[in-house]
């Protein structure tokens, strides 16, 4: 088990250094035409989900495994959209923007 500082380091590295994940998120952002605010909210939700479900799999502080597969990313993205729909009365705005 690693401490919270290490966990944050690893999660930041996943977003900042994993180019395929960044590219996939960028495509998702563009596809659903999300605002900067919604992008930040979605990233935070995905990070929270990663912490909750995957942090126990991370054992090394200074490097990170490729723990996010395409299927996991899609699942997390859909979860993030669901959470956005239910947060702060955004449901109509998100439905309008995404068509979902």
pLDDT single digits (tens) 19-43? 666 676 677 677 777 777 777 777 7
Q: State residue 96's pLDDT score.
A: 55
What is the residue whose two structure tokens read 């966990």? Answer: 7
CA pair distance 82, 89, nearest whole angstrom: 12
The pTM of the whole model exceeds 0.75: no
CA pair distance 88, 36, nearest whole angstrom: 16
Mean pLDDT for all residues in the chain: 57
Residue 100 CB partners (closer than 8 Å, separation 6+) = 81, 94
CA pair distance 100, 25, nearest whole angstrom: 18
Domain ranges of the chain: 4-98
pLDDT band at 76 (very low <50, low <70, confident <90, very high): low
């Amino acid at each position: 088990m690693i401490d919270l500082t290490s966990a944050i380091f690893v999660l930041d590295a996943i977003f900042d250094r994993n180019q395929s994940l960044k590219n996939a998120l960028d495509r998702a952002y563009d596809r659903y035409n999300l605002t900067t605010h919604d992008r930040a909210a979605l990233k935070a939700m995905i990070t929270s989900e990663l912490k909750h479900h995957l942090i126990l799999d991370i054992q090394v502080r200074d490097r990170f495994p490729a723990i996010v597969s395409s299927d996991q990313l899609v699942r997390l993205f859909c979860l993030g959209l669901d959470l956005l729909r239910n947060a702060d009365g955004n449901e109509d705005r998100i439905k309008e923007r995404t068509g979902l």
